[in-house]
Amino acid sequence: MEVAKRGKPAVAICSTAFTTLGHAQARALGDPDLPIAVIPHPFGLRTREEVRQIAEKCVDEVARLVSESA
């Protein structure tokens, strides 16, 4: 069921390595228009500070996608 049908805006967040999979999963779950914010890959080997910097760079995009899907 689409998240919008539940009255709640949503955004998926995928790293660059999993964007195609993220879109496929959204379609498979019945929400092909689910907005996806893309972050750099790899993620697991980064320090907390690097992750914080990535988040700071991505937060505006995530906020924009959430507000557009509301």
Sorted by where each begins, the domain ranges of the chain are 3-69
pLDDT digits (tens, 9 = 90+) for 43-62: 888 999 999 999 999 999 99
Sequence-distant contacts of 8-11: CB under 8 A, at least 24 apart: 9/66, 9/67, 9/69, 9/70, 10/34, 10/35, 10/66, 10/69, 11/35, 11/36, 11/37, 11/62, 11/65, 11/66, 11/69
pLDDT digits (tens, 9 = 90+) for 7-31: 788 899 999 999 999 999 999 999 9
Q: What is the pTM of this model?
A: 0.77
pLDDT of residue 1: 40
